[in-house]
Chains A and B, each alone.
Chain A
Amino acid sequence: MSIDENTAAKVAKLARIEVESQDLTALAKEFNDILGFIEQLNEVDVEGIEPMTSVTPQKLIRRGDNITDGNKQTSVLKNAPISREGFYAVPKVVE
């Protein structure tokens, strides 16, 4: 499996990370180096083995469906780069 510049650009787009077009060649090479290393996993016989979902055998605990926290608008917005009138502010999303 080899990654070309188009695939690298597509992955960057999916990850929402801007990559300049002149950097795509180097990026594709890095991907290929790392994926080449990962390819070793194909040597392993995984027939009949379930993918691990939890490393400890415990069941996830469910909490009660109760309100335990809230009314913290100031706290929630405190670290926002831009907020306005009690909301996060972002560029226009809908035309």
Chain B
Amino acid sequence: MTNLNNLTIAEARDKLKSKEISSLELTNSCLSAIDAADALGAFVHKTPELAIEQAKRADERLKKENAPDLCGIPLGIKDLFCTKGVESQAASRILENFKPEYESTVSQNLLDNGTVMLGKLNMDEFAMGSSNETSIYGNAINPWKTDDRGLTPGGSSGGSASAVAADLCLAATGTDTGGSIRQPAAFTGIVGIKPTYGRCSRWGIIAFASSLDQAGPMTKTVRDGAIMLEAMAGNDPKDSTSANIEVPNFEAMLTGDIKGKRIGIPKEYRLDGMPSEIEKLWSDGTEMLRQAGAKIENISLPHTKYALPAYYVIAPAEASSNLARYDGVRYGRRANLSSGDGINEMYEKTRAEGFGSEVKRRVMIGTYVLSAGFYDAYYNRARRVRALIKKDFDEVFADGVDAILTPTTPSAAFGLGEMSDADPVQMYLNDVFTVTVNLAGLPGVSVPAGADKSGLPLGLQVIGRPWEEGDMLNIAYSLEKSVGFSAKPSKWW
């Protein structure tokens, strides 16, 4: 018999409902796996006592009829989510010892469905990064390996990706501002869903760039993603941007039938110098969808090239405003002050020692682009370009395209530290295929679609129409079945 922690959500759900296993057994299996996996740096705050208590409660609930699908399912929660009484640090020194007095709406929704929280997961500081190397906790490490090097699990939801890929939990929450769910999912051979902006409440999720941030599930299969997304989503009066739109039963929409669906292949995503493996992955995936009955169409999204530069104005601008709240007064860490230091010295010293270098860089860039004299030239121009990027998608969808297929990342996982000498812009290029989706507020999902020549997983991204995650996931499900990616990292940790 395989270890229980290796199960998918759907498998565990069926076994829990048939009483073949208990949530306590399942939870204990995950807790043992977590304790044996410190080398991965995935779980940064473990909550075993809480998990066991929640598992026992879930087992009680499972005895009754109609327990929710997620009842008794053990999950990892990204450190960006505020969890009541449990450290929530956004992987930053400035939030050292912060234990929220409240629970984020998304994690509360999951708890209401009977899930078990195993602990908090590593990430890039304030979700700013694509390699999980900016975390105060140290690197999260990819369970996939090809040689002696430690590889990045991607970022910013690197701990979530690593934990799910290594079967430490059945699934995890992530957040995605420019690709932070989909890129790590691709790097670790799992499924990552970024929902339509407004599908999940942002309340209680530590804010990075409010007009781009969305929470989503990171799971072993598309089916699991559909189950978990339904539980996470929903209107929340505490987030005025959360949509008052009914959440469908996404799992029921996974028929695998995509006959007649029109899939767009955007020519602008074919980058100069793109590795031939990525090219092939993309054309193979396209062919699979064609075989499954979809109609493939070449499309154009002419402003794609400007998405990253627009993002690197808008996201830092919003971050500089959101992170202004870390001032050493209300929560988190305050720097030691010298005698005679006033309130400005307190702010400046606290923020200098509390923020890491990437966060400082982005806060200052954001401050600059919003400052008097540059607001129009940078910030307003970027918001205009953003409107054009969204218009590109609107037009393609208005022409009848149902979904768009692209690679998720321009490469497989790279070695930790390998990008340290590159300038920050090089690291930003990781998000070249994912960031457009955030700027346009669309749903996107990364599906494992193959491996590079050294055996590392690669992902393809399906981009859906707004609010049509169900249709998008059905296309992803068809792709998942055609690809049949079942490789797992061999255990070295």
Bound state CA distance, A79 and B88, in angstroms?
A: 12
- A19, A46, A88, A93: the one contacting B342 at CB < 8 Å is A93
What DSSP secondary structure best describes chain B's contact surface?
A: helix
Among A14, A33, A52, A90, point to the contact of B383 (Cβ < 8 A). Answer: A52
Beyond A15-B363, A43-B306, 8 additional pairs, beta carbon < 8 A: A16-B348, A33-B424, A38-B369, A38-B378, A41-B385, A42-B381, A61-B244, A79-B97
With a CB–CB cut-off of 8 A, which chain B residues contact A34? 312, 361, 365, 424-425
A37 to B328, CA, bound (A): 33
Q: Which residues in window 1-58 of A have CB below 8 A to B?
A: 3, 8, 11-12, 14-19, 27, 30-31, 33-35, 37-44, 46, 49-56, 58
Closest to B323 in A: A15
| A–B complex contacts, Cβ < 8 Å, 25 sampled | A11-B367, A15-B364, A16-B324, A17-B352, A31-B364, A34-B365, A35-B365, A37-B309, A38-B309, A38-B369, A38-B378, A40-B306, A41-B385, A42-B381, A46-B381, A51-B387, A52-B390, A56-B198, A56-B466, A61-B244, A78-B99, A79-B99, A91-B337, A91-B342, A92-B342
| Those of B300-353 within 8 Å (CB) of chain A | 303, 305-306, 308-310, 312-313, 320, 324, 327-334, 337, 341-349, 351-352
Which of A44, A55, A56, A78 is most buried by chain B, counting CB atoms within 10 A of its CB? A55
| Residue ID in chain B nearest A20 by CB atoms | B352
Query: Is B381 in contact with A40, judged by CB distance below 8 angstroms?
Result: no
Task: Give Cα distance in the complex from A75 to B330, angstroms.
Answer: 11
1/0 per residue, CB under 8 A from A, across B410-435: the answer is: 00000000000001110010000000
Q: For residue A43, which residues in chain B have a CB less than 8 angstroms away from its CB?
A: 306
The CA of A56 and the CA of B384, in the complex, are separated in Å by: 15
CA distance A53 to B380 in the complex (A): 10
Residues of A within 8 A of B334 (CB): 81-82
Given contacts A80-B329, A88-B330, contact A55 B360 (CB under 8 A): no
A interface residue numbers (CB < 8 A to B): 3, 8, 11-12, 14-19, 27, 30-31, 33-35, 37-44, 46, 49-56, 58, 60-61, 63, 72, 75-76, 78-82, 88, 90-93
Residues in A with CB closer than 8 Å to B313 are 38, 41
**How many angstroms between the C-alpha atoms of A19 and B367 in the bound complex?**
15
A92 to chain B: which residues have CB within 8 Å? 342-343
Bound together, the chains give a CA A41 to CA B361 distance in angstroms of 20
Pair A55/B211 contact, Cβ less than 8 Å: yes
Chain B positions within 8 Å of A93 at CB level = 342-343
Q: Which of B170-197 contact A (CB under 8 A)?
A: 196-197
B34 at the interface (CB under 8 A from A): no
Q: In whole angstroms, how far apart are the Cα atoms of A53 and B65 in the complex?
A: 46
10 interchain residue pairs of minimum CB distance: A55-B441, A51-B383, A79-B331, A18-B352, A46-B384, A81-B334, A18-B348, A16-B347, A75-B101, A15-B367
- Most chain B beta-carbon contacts within 10 A, residue among A16, A51, A53, A81: A16
A18 CB contact (under 8 Å) in B99, B324, B349: B349
Contact of A15 with B385 at beta-carbon distance under 8 Å, contacts A41-B306, A55-B440, A56-B243 already known: no
Tell whether A91 pairs with B101 under 8 Å between CB atoms, given A17-B360, A34-B312, A40-B306.
no
